[in-house]
């Protein structure tokens, strides 16, 4: 699927955002470099880029570096310098630090984003990339020429920032390696979640609440080994009264265990999120379902949006339109585990 369809889907959603941030994540777009981490970066100046490249060369083999193609349009202004690098960590560096590859890349991205003023990695997974800017999402898609990319999974988001600044790095999706999050809502529990997650080396640097969900999911799934469904039961845990009434004893005990083990990772406040990863995605509402979410299907495609109108734009004949309950995760994987 090219990016054209999802750009069009954002058009009837125009009034859901205010032009202070739009973005896309696309999976499967770099098949020729699928074994390399694709670092998408913003720089404030040429000198920052040069310095950062020196740093990158000390830690990575860079197989390709290039400007991310964009087109000049009146709706998108004040763009930073936007580059991408396809890289592999140097084996010697990994050996000396005794880190596995993913951990090293994740730490290096956080190091750049916290310690290198003017340089910002906004995407760093394999065979995927995010594209974001200050603007309306349909304009951001046009700016990045997303109709020229082919992927098997796309997510998109338009911001309407209420509590935090609108800036290029603050547009969604937020990423950590191949994880990307788009989020509609505001997280009342942000500080409690942030304090907990920062104990494990994650750093919240982006002046927005959404990134903490990305780190929570990474922590629960990659470090704690939970399934996506279990992680959903942690962040959108049912009320104790709802757990109490569960008749499936096994399910009941699991929920009691998860709420007891990870109380600081309960995410309260309204949210609907889509978590993209290599091979699939998970969509989830807060347990009270204070934000909207609709799912539809057609043939071998699944569509998820805040409004049915967005789905109908992509696929007028979409079938099985339904709304998941609050806290009920919708997990979609590419057939036969391809791309995982």
Provide the minimum distance between the beta carbon of 268 and another protein in the complex, in angstroms, as a whole number. Answer: 16
Instruction: Give the closest residue to 174 by CA, choosing from 289, 275, 247.
Output: 275
Provide the minimum distance between the beta carbon of 180 and another protein in the complex, in angstroms, as a whole number. Answer: 25
Provide the minimum distance between the beta carbon of 309 and another protein in the complex, in angstroms, as a whole number. Answer: 3
When the beta carbons of 10 and 87 are compared against another protein, the nearer one is 10
When the beta carbons of 82 and 310 are compared against another protein, the nearer one is 310
Instruction: Give the closest residue to 285 by CA, choosing from 299, 270, 301.
Output: 270
When the beta carbons of 38 and 294 are compared against another protein, the nearer one is 294
319-325 contact pairs (CB < 8 A, 24+)? 320/295, 320/296, 321/294, 321/295, 321/296, 322/294, 322/295, 322/296, 323/292, 323/293, 323/294, 323/295, 324/283, 324/284, 324/285, 324/293, 324/295, 325/285, 325/289
When the beta carbons of 123 and 313 are compared against another protein, the nearer one is 313
Cβ-based neighbours of 264, under 8 Å, separated by 6 or more: 192, 193, 195, 196
Count CA atoms within 13 Å of residue 141 on its CB side. Answer: 25
DSSP-derived 3-state class of residue 313: helix
When the beta carbons of 175 and 306 are compared against another protein, the nearer one is 306
Provide the minimum distance between the beta carbon of 157 and another protein in the complex, in angstroms, as a whole number. Answer: 16
- Write down how long the chain is: 340
Provide the minimum distance between the beta carbon of 323 and another protein in the complex, in angstroms, as a whole number. Answer: 5
Cβ pair 182, 23 in contact under 8 A: yes
| Residue with tokens 């290198």, as numbered in its chain | 116
Provide the minimum distance between the beta carbon of 244 and another protein in the complex, in angstroms, as a whole number. Answer: 10
When the beta carbons of 13 and 146 are compared against another protein, the nearer one is 13
Interface ranges with another protein (CB under 8 A)? 12-13, 15, 239, 242, 245, 288-289, 292, 294, 307-310, 312-313, 321, 323, 325-326
Give the dihedral sign, CA 314/271/146/34.
negative
Q: Both tokens of residue 21?
A: 């941030």
When the beta carbons of 12 and 118 are compared against another protein, the nearer one is 12
Provide the minimum distance between the beta carbon of 304 and another protein in the complex, in angstroms, as a whole number. Answer: 15
Cβ pair 125, 85 in contact under 8 A: no
Provide the minimum distance between the beta carbon of 85 and another protein in the complex, in angstroms, as a whole number. Answer: 38
When the beta carbons of 12 and 166 are compared against another protein, the nearer one is 12
Taking the C-alpha atoms of residue 324 and residue 295, their distance in angstroms, rounded to an integer, is 8
């Amino acid at each position: 699927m090219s990016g054209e369809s999802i750009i069009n889907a954002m058009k009837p959603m125009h009034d859901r955002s205010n032009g202070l941030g739009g973005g896309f994540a696309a999976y499967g777009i770099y098949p020729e470099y699928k074994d390399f981490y694709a670092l998408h970066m913003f720089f404030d100046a040429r000198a920052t880029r040069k310095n950062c490249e020196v740093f990158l060369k000390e830690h990575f083999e860079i197989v390709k570096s290039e400007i991310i193609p964009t087109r000049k349009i009146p709706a998108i202004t004040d763009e930073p310098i936007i580059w991408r690098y396809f890289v592999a960590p140097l084996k010697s560096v990994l050996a000396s630090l005794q880190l596995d590859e993913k951990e090293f890349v994740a730490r290096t991205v956080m190091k750049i984003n916290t310690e290198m003023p003017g340089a910002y990695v906004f995407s760093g997974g394999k065979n995927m990339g995010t594209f974001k800017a200050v603007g309306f999402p349909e304009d951001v898609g046009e700016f990045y020429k997303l109709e020229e990319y082919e992927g098997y999974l796309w997510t998109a988001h338009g911001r309407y920032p209420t509590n935090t600044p609108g800036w290029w790095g603050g547009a969604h999706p937020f990423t950590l390696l191949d994880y990307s999050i788009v989020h509609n809502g505001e997280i009342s529990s942000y500080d409690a979640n942030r304090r907990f997650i920062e104990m494990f080396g994650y750093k919240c640097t982006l002046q927005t609440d959404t990134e903490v969900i990305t780190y929570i999911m990474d922590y629960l799934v990659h470090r704690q080994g939970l399934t996506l469904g279990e992680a959903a039961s942690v962040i959108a845990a049912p009320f104790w009264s709802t757990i109490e009434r569960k008749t499936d004893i096994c399910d009941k005990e699991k929920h009691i265990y998860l709420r007891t083990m990870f109380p600081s990772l309960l995410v309260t406040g309204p949210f609907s999120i889509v978590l993209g990863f290599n091979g699939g995605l998970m969509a989830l509402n807060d347990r009270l379902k204070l934000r909207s979410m609709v799912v539809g299907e057609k043939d071998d495609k699944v569509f998820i949006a805040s409004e049915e109108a967005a789905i109908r734009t992509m696929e007028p004949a979409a079938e099985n339109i339904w709304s998941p309950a609050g806290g009920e995760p919708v997990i979609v994987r590419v057939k036969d585990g391809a791309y995982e």
